[in-house]
Amino acid sequence: MGLALAPYVASMVAYDVELGGPGVHRGLPSTSLTFVLPVDEPLDVGWRGVPESRRRRWSTVSGLHAGPAEIHHDGRQRGIQLGLTTAGARALLGVPAAALSGRLEELSTVAPELRHLPEQLAEAPRAHWWAVVERALLSALHRRDPPRTRAEVGRALALLTRGAAVQGVADEVGYSRRHLGSLVRAECGLSPKELQRVGRFESSKAQLIAGGSVAGAAAACGYADQAHLTREWVTLAGCPPTTWLREELPFLQDLDTGDAAG
């Protein structure tokens, strides 16, 4: 991914995986917005416990959320998934991240100028997927002025996504805890505490993927103990970390990860 997109695209992966039969894949909370472009079949996704949110979509954009999504599949999935920063929501989609928090939307609703991207991706060979998506995003970026976020708000978001304590962040950026809460929620749609929890959860997931133990991840990521980490996983992911590792890690190992910074 080119340098022009680096501040706006946190991650980009291509996936073409066999999952051994029909099932349900978990979409976990993240500090990035999720943007999925499936190929061959629309993505059948909804929020866990909210059956009315489930739909089959040829593009899915979801804002920050503090609970899991459920992706129903027939045994194979192909496509592109991007993680957009909060600045990327404004720069590439033309909407604030907060407007998408807890929502599952299609490109035609969020960014009508990108509505043809799913069709363009479907018509391209896999070797050209990256180029198709990058070209469309660069075009969207050049149509808009760069987003501007107050420096102290950007600093607060960065600290919270790394799992820093809310009061410590408020002290560092010079805001009251209440004022910090209003600004963070207006920017990303989550409260500072929710964003901090998701950030710490995301860090623990990275530790586990790298081969760390649950106890080690708990200690490294600021949880009180292993039981605390497990309770947070059940709340945010819908399952304990050991279950997720057993069921989902093989899927992750089959992903082709793109370098968002190029």
Q: State pLDDT tens for residues 3-47.
A: 899 999 999 998 888 878 899 989 999 999 999 999 999 999 999
Domain assignment present for residue 215? The answer is no
Residue 157 has pLDDT above 90, yes or no: yes
Domain assignment present for 130: yes
Residue 262: pLDDT above 50? no
Confidence of residue 158 (pLDDT cuts 50, 70, 90): very high
Residue 87 located in a structural domain: yes
User: Using CA atoms, how far apart are residues 72 and 57, in angstroms rounded to an integer?
Assistant: 12
Q: Is residue 180 part of a domain?
A: no
Give the per-residue pLDDT at 44.
97
CATH number of domain containing 114: 2.60.120
Range of the domain at 115: 3-147+249-258
Q: What is the pLDDT of residue 256?
A: 55
Residue 149 pLDDT > 90, yes or no?
Answer: no
The yes-or-no verdict on residue 260 having pLDDT over 80 is no
pLDDT at 257: 56
Domain count, the chain: 1
pLDDT, mean over the chain: 91
Q: For residue range 163-206, what is the model confidence (pLDDT) as tens digits? A: 899 999 999 999 999 999 999 999 999 999 999 999 999 999 99
Is 233 among the domain residues? Answer: no
Q: Positive or negative CA dihedral for 217, 85, 51, 254? A: negative
Does residue 205 lie in a domain region? no
Is residue 261's pLDDT more than 70?
no
Could you tell me if residue 77 is inside a domain?
yes
Residue 253 pLDDT > 70: no
Q: Which tens digits make up the pLDDT trace of 49-74?
A: 999 999 999 999 999 999 999 999 99
| Residues in contact with 34: Cβ distance below 8 Å, sequence separation at least 6, in sequence order | 27, 60, 61, 62, 81, 82, 83, 84
Residue 161 included in any domain: no
Residue 259: what pLDDT? 45
